Amino acid sequence: MSEEAPAPAAAPAKAAKKKASKPKKVGPSVGELIVKTVAASKERSGVSAAALKKALAAGGYDVDKNKVRVKTAIKSLVAKGTLVQTKGTGASGSFKMSKKQTVHDKCFKGRALFIKPF
């Protein structure tokens, strides 16, 4: 007297629905906004993460809704070398623009006496 569970009926195959694509967001990315904010700052020690978020919020960006995007953008900019972290770790602390040499400076480093500066 063994009872067998009835096999579940196979679900009918549904036609693949195409999702309506959302319109692409217009405007600069979070990373670009952060770079502009830090570049505009005249602070010698850099801009703190809290001040950076306040500046983004003042510019009309919803920081509370997109706080994870702000954190990842800060971390990626530090990893790329665009920003330098002067204090703190991760996405907290202070940040300033890095002093990278431009391509022009690297190419003509030895012949600087013969080239007029721009």
CATH number at residue 87: 1.10.10.10
pTM: 0.64
Q: Is residue 7 scored above 90 in pLDDT?
A: no
The answer to whether position 77 is within a domain reads: yes
State pLDDT tens for residues 54-111. Answer: 999 999 999 999 999 999 999 999 999 999 999 999 899 999 999 875 455 555 555 5
CA distance 78 to 92: 11
Return d(Cα 115, Cα 113) in angstroms, integer. Answer: 6
The residue among 101 and 39 whose pLDDT is bigger is 39
Q: For 26-32, what is the mean pLDDT?
A: 86
Q: Is 46 left (phi over 0), alpha (psi -120 to 50) or beta?
A: left
CB 82 within 8 A of CB 98: yes
Is 84 inside a domain boundary? yes
pLDDT value of position 25: 72
| Beta pairing partners, 108 | none
pLDDT for the residue 23: 75
Q: Could you tell me which of 87, 51, 42 has the C-alpha nearest to residue 70?
A: 51
In a domain, residue 15? The reply is no
Confidence band, pLDDT 50/70/90 cuts, at residue 52:
very high
Owning domain of residue 90:
30-97
When divided into structural domains, the chain yields a total of 1
